[in-house]
Amino acid sequence: MRWFRSYWDEEDTWFCFEVDGDEWVRRQVELEGPDRRPVAAASADEEDGATYGFTAESPVTEWEGHDEEPLTAEEFEEIWAEARRRLGAGRIS
């Protein structure tokens, strides 16, 4: 596994990724705006994207025009946990 983030300035959004050895996204977090509000914290292992969103549908090697900033596993886990907590706060189980 490897972890990185990429910034999309048109939407003021940070995308944080966990990718496997085949370069497929396993988990993905999207943070919007200056306050980095989470809008997605998706896992490829989950089929229902209603609460947490969906992961990218192609391997990273097929993407064009993105810059990668490395993240450590610990950094990604902190971002992931906070995004899941905030997105799941209003969810009724």
Q: Do the strands 25-32 and 37-43 form a parallel or antiparallel pair, or are they unpaired?
A: antiparallel
pTM for this prediction: 0.88
For the four alpha carbons of 62, 64, 66 and 67, in that order, the dihedral sign comes to positive
Please give the Cα distance from 60 to 65 (Å, whole number): 11
Q: Would the pLDDT of 82 be above 50?
A: yes
The one-character DSSP state at 61 is G
In the chain, what percentage of residues exceed pLDDT 90?
A: 67
pLDDT on residue 93: 44
pLDDT on residue 26: 96
- What are the DSSP E strand ranges found in 23-86? 25-32, 37-43, 69-71
pLDDT tens-place string over residues 25-52: 999 999 999 999 999 999 999 877 777 8
Which residue type is seen at 37? R
The mean per-residue pLDDT over the stretch 48-63 comes to 85
